Amino acid sequence: MVDEQAIKAAQEKFGALLRKQLDRVEVLKNEGAPVDYSKLDKLIIGVCGGDGIGPYICASAQRVMEFLLADKLKAGKAEIRVIDGLTIERRVEVMKAIPDDTLAELKACHVILKGPTTTPKKGDPWPNIESANVAMRKELDLFANVRPVSVPELGIDWTFFRENTEGSYALGSDGINVTDDLAMDFCVATSQGTDRILRAGFDFAKKTGKNYVSVITKGNIIKTTDGKFLSMAEEIAKEYPEVKWDDWFIDITTAKLIDPARRSAFKVFVLPNLYGDIITDEAAQIQGGVGTAGSANIGTKYAMFEAIHGSAPRMVTEGRAQYADPCSMIKAVAMMMDHIGEAEKAKKLNMALDICCQFEKKLVMTGRDTGATGNEFADYIMETMQRPDIEKVWQGYIDAAIAAAKN
């Protein structure tokens, strides 16, 4: 017997979801122009430690940020605000992905540096509330998740543009258990949301001269939402005649990223939310692990910069949080510098990260007391940035690595 009552209840819930998404479309239609950072009297930077190792690695990254922005901070042209309400304890206390007062504090900033936050799943000791990351991306409309991965000696220079507010994530906490036996989740693609992420990828490819975009979907199976992503890509690509583009399915793309004969040809990827989540972990692993990758979440009004890994609560319970590697958060600082118009500072920091983490390795991080602490490593990075010959040193290491890879 079909449970008509259950269908009716599910239809009502579905109707409410549709109304909310259609309201969102109206908001997207009236989206303003992006913030011009050069016009701000004062740049407000929020620092949000998060959970587990988050406050530790975030504090180390904050020191690097303060070092880079020392002049601006002193002149009152930038201000750092520490926001500490985004912990799992606090979120559970108010049973919200982001407590209201914390959200108001976040919205009073222009850019945010955020440590990893614990994301509960069914069966965890915490109630199964929505992820703070996902909520922040939605609340601040951070639609483009930009994740660069580079391994010069393998010829790899990839930039991922992951759609960050729609796809399978948009209603990830709003699925419906229609009956005890039937669970349904939903995937969302709007014209406005798809258009802006595709344009972000194509604009970047054009501006940087990378000139090659790969659009990744599973459009042969997920015909409606991924189908829309793909057909809009076909149209938008026509506006970028100088940018070469192609499309791939997500499954073969995961294989091609580990195919030495093909992978170095890829440059810019544009892809829906869930595929972007999965494949950027794979890409980061090729670069040296998720601890080596930073992540920028860009919107028109706000931007948030974070590590791509989780909060590693075990390191805290085992008393070794001070040995957690802050490099992914420091990488996020470099991405923030680029975003706020400090390209030179970003470049220097990226060179120092390469020298310290990949090449010179005067200090190493092991996650235990056999290695350096996060703060010691941050000091090493700041010292390296001050070397007058940093550019030459960096180029030397890169050239040697390329030569070694050829042999």
Residues lying near Mg ion in the complex (CB under 5 A) are found at 277
Whether the Cβ atoms of residue 205 and residue 168 lie closer than 8 Å to each other: no
The total number of residues shown for the chain amounts to 407
Distances (CA, A) of 99 to 52, 86, 102, 259, 302: 18, 7, 5, 44, 18
DSSP 172: T
Q: Residue 176 belongs to what H/E stretch? A: strand 176-177
CB of 175 to Mg ion, least distance (A): 19
Two tokens, residue 135:
């909520």
CB of 281 to Mg ion, least distance (A): 5
**Nearer Cβ to ligand IPM (311/350):** 311
Q: Is 328 in the site for ligand IPM (CB under 6 A)?
A: no
Q: How far apart are CA 203 and CA 169, in angstroms?
A: 25
Q: How far apart are CA 298 and CA 300, in angstroms?
A: 7
Paired with 81 in beta bridges are 46
CB of 88 to ligand IPM, least distance (A): 12
Q: Kindly give, in sequence order, each residue whose CB lies less than 8 Å from that of residue 92, ignoring residues fewer than 6 positions away.
A: 126, 127, 129
Number of residues that bind ligand IPM (CB under 6 A): 7
Q: What is the Cβ-side half-sphere exposure of residue 4, based on CA atoms within 13 angstroms? A: 0
Torsion over CA: 73, 78, 81, 87 (sign): negative
CB of 310 to ligand IPM, least distance (A): 6
**Nearer Cβ to ligand IPM (166/277):** 277
Any idea which residue has 């975009």 for tokens? Answer: 213
Q: Is 293 in the site for ligand IPM (CB under 6 A)?
A: no
CB of 146 to ligand IPM, least distance (A): 12
**Nearer Cβ to Mg ion (24/137):** 137
**Nearer Cβ to Mg ion (277/325):** 277
User: Hey, what amino acid is at 144?
Assistant: A
CB of 119 to ligand IPM, least distance (A): 5
Which of Mg ion, ligand IPM, none does residue 119 bind to, with CB < 5 to 8 Å depending on kind? Answer: ligand IPM
**Nearer Cβ to Mg ion (253/384):** 253
Q: Is 277 in the site for ligand IPM (CB under 6 A)?
A: yes
- In the chain the first and final C-alpha atoms are separated, in Å, by 69
**Nearer Cβ to ligand IPM (131/350):** 131
Q: Per CB under 6 A, which of residues 126..155 are in contact with ligand IPM? A: 131, 133-134
Torsion over CA: 104, 110, 114, 119 (sign): positive
Which of ligand IPM, Mg ion, none does residue 284 bind to, with CB < 5 to 8 Å depending on kind? Answer: none
Which of ligand IPM, Mg ion, none does residue 134 bind to, with CB < 5 to 8 Å depending on kind? Answer: ligand IPM
Q: How far apart are CA 66 and CA 48, in angstroms?
A: 15
**Nearer Cβ to Mg ion (137/267):** 137
Q: How far apart are CA 287 and CA 316, in angstroms?
A: 26
Q: How buried is residue 328: exposed, middle or buried, by Cβ count under 10 Å (0-12/13-18/19+)?
A: buried
Using Cβ positions, the residue closest to Mg ion within the complex turns out to be: 277
CB of 344 to Mg ion, least distance (A): 30
Judged by CB under 6 A, the residue of 87, 102, 119, 217 near ligand IPM is 119
Residues lying near ligand IPM in the complex (CB under 6 A)? 119, 131, 133-134, 277, 308, 310
